[in-house]
Structure 1
């Protein structure tokens, strides 16, 4: 499980660019572009509060306690980081490409530095550490949109990840910006691992699975309250029980997409 943390969050930020892009290039400081940015940020804020309320309510029903903390829905930190990265990268795109890339690298290294020393600064550190992943999604968008599986790219990325994991692995927690690895192998492992996952995802040709990609934010923010309810009654004391809980969580997370995206309302478009 610890090895998945090397690229679980980076993978989401890597591919989320296609769902919440920074609006592309051109004159980004004109009024229409800034209004569009504001609406995109407003939508993410609405989603944040909707899933926060869902987490608070579920926690009260299950635990009998009103708790105003991310503990009620852990993945919410990702939405907070996504909002900050979207704004930061948007204004970096105003500069020439080389200046943007240099700025992203320096911001990422600052995030790694403060994380290495145990600081997060209300998720600003995590946002800085994660910014290179969001930027990579932007600059690699043509490859991300190419749905053909590339065996050699996948194999090369896997070998890089395997070397970084075998020689330099140490536990990471980007949510808390707890980085205990040197920056080169940290980013190499995270990006190469994300590339492997993306390539394998291209092999999935099941139509009913598509909502998990298009609306990935929803199951990510609903599976936590779902697990809280399930684990109140059942614990995974064996492999078979673990598989059963996994299947139930998968099905309910999938159904939650229908709950939040349907003919009456679409949580991904509120405020846009």
Structure 2
């Protein structure tokens, strides 16, 4: 099944927004935070529907979907942990705690995202393979609502409980991408639809304030979900209207590389670039350029490897 370029564009734009949100702390980043991580869960659901792959057993599922992410998860988590330890002069106990979180699938830095995505996909896969899958949407809705309610009532500070809540929330966005792909996300939409999604997402996110899925900061849950879906829809619809965007496509195809490396590199840059009113701007520019070079290197290296394999 061919890749859908516009979803790569959307993922590429999404990862640039994630980098922006981790560097800047302004009004625009508040809008970015309202949808930038849910965007990736929705896109993953869209891709799952598009490919329509069926796994016949757990061994095949592990080999095809889980195994490829183990190495990057460990490498990027360790990279972030060691960089933070050096830059922030962390104690040995804090470093060991970070390694425990890595082992227990809570990740380090942005790598919390990867186990959450895999576990959400796993839950969705289990539901799809049920004989009575007509109830799937109701089951997913109950799990999502229950996770939000649990977070509001108990405000868990134990990282394993937080990971479980994130997984159920991610499951909701994944399902939106999967079931909404053919009727909504696979189609081109006219400019008025794009503008409406953009305006509504801006208004709702400004009303709801700063949110962050990683820290389980949602403010109003209904507004959070609405802003996330509308912002995601705007990005996907807009990217569907693009004819060619090679840079975004490259960032999208190698978004995991950018996801795993940009925070440690940002920590180093903030330590090197003198503090000033323009520090965030310079950090962002150098960071994006560095990530672009990393992406280009991986792209060239992948092409070279493919060529060698044909000789």
TM-score by length of 1: 0.81
1:79 is aligned to 2:114: yes
Q: Match of 2:219?
A: 180
Q: Match of 1:131?
A: 171
Q: Match of 1:102?
A: 138
Deviation at 1:150, TM superposition (A): 3.2
Q: Note if contact 1:7-1:189 (Cα within 8 Å) is conserved in structure 2.
A: yes
Q: Note if contact 2:251-2:292 (Cα within 8 Å) is conserved in structure 1.
A: yes
Q: Match of 1:151?
A: 191
Q: What are structure 2's unaligned runs of at least 5 residues? A: 1-28, 307-311
Matches of 1:232 and 1:19 in 2, distance apart? 39
Q: Note if contact 1:23-1:37 (Cα within 8 Å) is conserved in structure 2.
A: no
Q: Match of 2:15?
A: none
Matches of 2:260 and 2:47 in 1, distance apart? 16
Residue of 57, 63, 70 corresponding to 1:45: 70
Q: Match of 2:59?
A: 35
- Which one has the bigger helix percentage? 2
Matches of 1:2 and 1:208 in 2, distance apart? 25
Deviation at 1:8, TM superposition (A): 1.5
Alignment of 1:108-257 (within 5 A): 108-117=144-153, 118-119=155-156, 121-142=161-182, 143-146=184-187, 148=188, 150-166=190-206, 168-181=207-220, 183-204=221-242, 205-235=244-274, 237-239=276-278, 241-257=279-295
Q: What are structure 1's unaligned runs of at least 5 residues? A: 267-272
Matches of 1:227 and 1:5 in 2, distance apart? 18
Q: Match of 2:37?
A: 9
What is the CA deviation profile of residues 122-154 of structure 1, one whole-angstrom value per residue up to 9, with x for unaligned ones? 4101111221111111123335455x4532331
Q: Note if contact 2:84-2:264 (Cα within 8 Å) is conserved in structure 1.
A: yes
Deviation at 1:232, TM superposition (A): 0.9
Aligned length: 258
| Change beyond 3 A, Cα 1:141–1:156 | same
| Change beyond 3 A, Cα 1:54–1:258 | farther
| Change beyond 3 A, Cα 1:216–1:144 | farther
Tell me which moved more, 79-88 or 115-124.
115-124
C-alpha root-mean-square deviation of aligned residues, in Å? 3.0
Q: Note if contact 2:47-2:178 (Cα within 8 Å) is conserved in structure 1.
A: no
Q: Note if contact 1:129-1:177 (Cα within 8 Å) is conserved in structure 2.
A: no
SS at match of 2:214: helix
Name which structure has the greater RCO, CA cutoff 8 Å, separation 6+: 2
Q: Note if contact 2:78-2:108 (Cα within 8 Å) is conserved in structure 1.
A: no
What is the CA deviation profile of residues 64-92 of structure 1, one whole-angstrom value per residue up to 9, with x for unaligned ones? 55624279952111112112101111111
SS at match of 2:210: coil
Deviation at 1:244, TM superposition (A): 2.0
Q: Note if contact 2:147-2:169 (Cα within 8 Å) is conserved in structure 1.
A: yes
| Change beyond 3 A, Cα 1:91–1:206 | same
Matches of 2:216 and 2:305 in 1, distance apart? 35
TM-score by length of 2: 0.72
What is the CA deviation profile of residues 190-219 of structure 1, one whole-angstrom value per residue up to 9, with x for unaligned ones? 101111122233355322331111221221
